[in-house]
Amino acid sequence: MYASEVEALVCDYIVSSWLLKTVERDRKHLGALKLHRCWETWFERVSLAVEREHVRDKKKLRECGCRIVLEEMTENRHVHVMYTHNRYEYHCYMMPGVLKARCEERLQDVLSRSFG
């Protein structure tokens, strides 16, 4: 597998990881809504679908021999992931605006497959 293909898989992993965290964080804010019990069921289904996507992305990384070594947020709010592939160390960075857009695209895709 080429390094560019592995980097694309790492980017997908980053997106699914942050989307899962974001959905869970949004779920915690449901208590303030008047219809929170209705929304809780919907969020549960969305959360499970996003979690399945994340597990699938992690499995793809393992299958191609990639291992995530470090995940962090840099000072300028970029997401930095260090990973190894074929015994070499690589770094992947994602800007906040790009991450947000990719998370929104992924969520729309998950929603259309799960509820459409």
How far apart, in whole angstroms, are the C-alpha atoms of residue 19 and residue 15? 6
pLDDT digits (tens, 9 = 90+) for 5-50: 999 999 999 999 999 999 999 888 887 778 888 888 888 899 999 9
- The pLDDT value recorded for residue 3 is 82
Q: Which residue is listed with tokens 């190894």?
A: 84
Structure tokens at 97: 């605006």
Is 84:67 a contact under the CB 8 Å cutoff? yes
pTM greater than 0.75 (yes/no): yes
Q: Provide the token pair at 55.
A: 């597990």
Burial of 100 per CB tally in 10 Å (0-12, 13-18, 19+): middle
| pLDDT value, residue 38 | 81
Report whether pLDDT(60) > 80.
yes
Please tell me the predicted confidence (pLDDT) of residue 35: 82
Q: Is the dihedral of CA 62, 13, 22, 111 positive or negative?
A: negative
- Token pair listed for 4: 């560019």
> 94 pairs with which residues across the strands?
79
